[in-house]
Structure 1
Amino acid sequence: MGRAVDITAPGGRVEHRRPRLGDLHWDGAVWRRWSGRRWARAVASPAPARLLDPRPLDADPPLAPEQQRRLLDRTVEGEVNESGASVVLDGSRGVVLGYCRRPSVLPHLLLTLVTGGLWLVVWLALLALVREDRYRFEVDAWGNVWCVPLRAA
């Protein structure tokens, strides 16, 4: 859990406390949101310059749920196309994406050649135990898309 910081509560009221998931914090340069592990920047925003403005985000009118969902879908589509992520779950709280962690080929190939093929057993075992990093992409009322890391599967 993070140390106590100034959290901007709805209505612009500032509280000094430990962060909770979804809390917003102005760090002097940009708005950040507590992801459960660290303060993270928005992955996408309909107005990126707005995230550089110190006024509380809830001073702006919220977007319609359809617009929020469209922005989330566009961000997820970009992640799937550019990063090779796969959609694990499309739920009410957001979209969970999985990023496969594959062992790098070159070092394992070199070790297999150097050990006369013995390392191939280890390499195959690593391929069988491939892990996946999962992240939930959530959209807030103003259309900013935030990434929340989940436990690895």
Structure 2
Amino acid sequence: MRWEQAAPEVRARVQDSFERQGLMAHLGARITHVGPGRVHLVLPARPEVTQQNGYVHAGATSAVADSAGGYAALTLFPEECDVLTVEYKINLLAPAAGDHVEAVGTVLRSGRTLTVCQLEVYGVRGTGERTLVATGQQTLIRLDRRSR
């Protein structure tokens, strides 16, 4: 399925912010889609991000879900704003198996101060088979970079 792309300047702002995240770089995550109110991240399944049974660890799964939602919110904020997570909840539905996991953050409501996102994480096999492995919801706060 093809999703609408965000404007080039929004994609560049999201990518620039993402590249400053040490954890995402450490995990090996990358952005695969930036659209208005929607961001997809991919995390390759490597031994460094797995748990004892070989599945992608819940901590890594949760981290990419959190970042996908945060960047989805950022796509709708003015340029001078930034984003921080206030809270999020993840339900782990199935073991995160596959060649990689894909986290999708989708804005449900973008407010003046708080934004709420839906979070989904899929285990993806090389065949293209996708399994929903986690779902959640997140609340984020919009920050004015000039006031910090």
Q: Is this a same-fold pair by TM over 0.5?
A: no
Please report the TM-score for the alignment, with normalisation by the length of structure 2.
Answer: 0.29
TM-score, length of structure 1 as denominator length: 0.28
> Which structure shows the higher strand fraction?
2
Greater Rg, structure 1 or structure 2?
1
